[in-house]
Amino acid sequence: MKTVLILGATGNLGGLAASVLNERYPEVGLRLTSSRESGCDSLRELYPNAEVLGADWYDPSSLVEAMRGVDSVFIVVPDFTTDESIVTPNIISAVKTVGGISQVVRLIAIPPGLTAAQLSPEFLATRCGANLSVIAKPLLDASGLPMTYINVPCWIMFNLPWFLAPEIKARRRLAMPRLSDSSRLWISEADVAEVAAKILAEDPSKHVGEEYVLTGTERIDFVQITKLLGEVIGEEVVFAADDHPLRDAMGDKFDALMTYFRHETRDYGGVPVTNTVARLLGRPQVTLRQYLTTNRDLFI
């Protein structure tokens, strides 16, 4: 039986990938980790047939123990808190120490061609989105590990209920800072997770050495999303250039996020649309309208 390790399986995309693997690929053994004991307890409850271990990005010995005996590793690091200059070398060292791992799959978010040299120290210090990936990818490229990259240089749809739902439910306003508005590509988290699970479940030789760029199918800004939401919930929704709801939601991370937006709205505008999701999954990917319709209850 092939064994797949998901580092940080309580995270959003790591958790979704674990769920898809558990439900659709029973021939794959799961090893799941969390850095928190409470996270491990949750994983054991959700996945009673999986092996669950404690592991921390900053504890090299725990990474080595987590990787012993696995075939493939999936890595999704959290925004804001990850220091890739430490975490990525720890991961590389653990994989090399263990030996025998046939595939390392890393989720990244880099507009094609963007490098760390093109970003100011201020942007890199936010440790968000591509500002993580542009540090990690060159280290992984130089490592000689059997890498597969899932590159998602666009917004994931679960940001909409996180950022917008409370204000829409309470006041029928889509409230975001004007600085954050841009015409973006949007992709469903379920599609990303399904792609990751497929890559992890299949023969590594099909995917090692590949970088799969996943995007949405069309560019949509907040005003257009406002119109879509109104149609989906059957009531008028208005756009408001207001930073207070996001400030309340993000707390002390708000300033870092706004700094990141100044880079993101500039550098993600030229990301080309790809058909990678449909090609890999053999079906059309989820559109933003379909996502909002499916998740309508989150906004009413």
Q: Report, as ranges of residue numbers, the positions in the chain whose pLDDT lies below 50.
A: none
pTM, two decimal places? 0.96
Inside any domain, residue 112: yes
Provide the residue range defining the domain that includes 32: 2-155+187-216+270-285
Inside any domain, residue 294: no
> CA 199 to CA 71: how far, in whole Å?
12
> What pLDDT score does 129 carry?
84
> What pLDDT score does 145 carry?
98
Tell me which residue of 184, 244, 203, 170 sits closest to 102, measured CA to CA: 203
> What pLDDT score does 266 carry?
87
Contact present, 245 and 160 (Cβ < 8 Å): no
> What pLDDT score does 130 carry?
81
> What pLDDT score does 8 carry?
84
- Give the count of domains, the chain: 1
Inside any domain, residue 258: no
Query: Letter for the amino acid at 53?
Result: L
Inside any domain, residue 19: yes
> What pLDDT score does 212 carry?
98
> What pLDDT score does 141 carry?
98
Instruction: Name the one residue in this structure whose structure tokens are 């009531």.
Output: 235
> What pLDDT score does 82 carry?
92
Inside any domain, residue 291: no
Inside any domain, residue 10: yes
- Sheet with strand 2-7: strands edge to edge: 51-54, 28-34, 2-7, 72-75, 103-108, 147-151, 211-213
Query: Letter for the amino acid at 251?
Result: G
> What pLDDT score does 211 carry?
98
> What pLDDT score does 156 carry?
95
Tell me which residue of 27, 66, 67, 32 sits closest to 47, measured CA to CA: 32
Inside any domain, residue 163: no
Inside any domain, residue 259: no
> What pLDDT score does 287 carry?
97
> What pLDDT score does 131 carry?
86
> CA 81 to CA 73: how far, in whole Å?
21
Contact present, 150 and 108 (Cβ < 8 Å): yes
Query: Strand, coil or helix: what is 58?
Result: coil
**CATH value at residue 58:** 3.40.50.720
> What pLDDT score does 270 carry?
87
> CA 111 to CA 14: how far, in whole Å?
21
Q: How does DSSP classify residue 188?
A: -
